[in-house]
Amino acid sequence: MNAISKLFDVWTTAVLKWGRNFAKKQAPKPTLSPGTPVVLELDEMWHYIQNKKNKLWIWKVLDRTTGYLIDWECGARDKETLEKLATRLAALNVSVYWTDKWQVYESLLPASKHVQTKAETHRIERNNCTMRHWCGRFKRKSIIVSKTLEMVNLTVALFARFRVNRVNGNVFDILEEGEMTPNIIIYSEL
């Protein structure tokens, strides 16, 4: 954000406001119709909120058939956070849940549809690596921390919309969504 603010000669807060508004408008959280048949891979990745003493876990769900990131939940690495996510996933027609061997998965996912193995979670692991590559705030050895949970959710939504869930698209499609330069100039007066 600092580099963009220098490039356009505007305040960093103007870039932040533009990014927040753009994400809310152009990258809503994906939704699937109830009963949609899916094969899911689940995994969690860590991040920091406000400082490096406050670890935040991002639980992500990837549809193995399409490769789309279909849902995520931010919170602790505990049963309560996974429960929020599992409640939303219950509306789907899930044939298989692929996860690693984290014990919390066993307690909430139906045993008849749940397979725990690191060998079959390669797509979600790749998604985590790609997200760390494209979003500086998620890099493992970074001085960047997120100030708010809202910005973490919006960053994941932008990543899902412009990097993962685009058919034959890429990250540069964000430029085609319009409104990029004019909004920054409008915010510069704030």
pLDDT of residue 166: 67
**Tens of pLDDT along 127-173?**
999 999 888 888 877 777 888 899 999 999 988 888 887 654 555 66
**Does CATH number 3.40.50.720 belong to domain 2-187?**
no
Secondary structure of residue 41 in the 3-state scheme: strand
pLDDT of residue 45: 94
- Closest alpha carbon to 48 in 132, 138, 124: 138
42, burial (CB in 10 Å: exposed 0-12, middle 13-18, buried 19+) = buried
- Closest alpha carbon to 47 in 136, 121, 123: 136
Please tell me the pTM assigned to this model.
Answer: 0.81
Q: What is the β-pairing status of strands 93-99 and 37-49?
A: parallel
Given a cut of 70, whether residue 69 has pLDDT beyond it is yes
Question: Rounded to whole angstroms, how far apart are CA atoms 158 and 30?
Answer: 11
Residue 127 neighbours by CB distance under 10 Å: 23
More confident position, 99 or 18: 99
DSSP state of 189: T
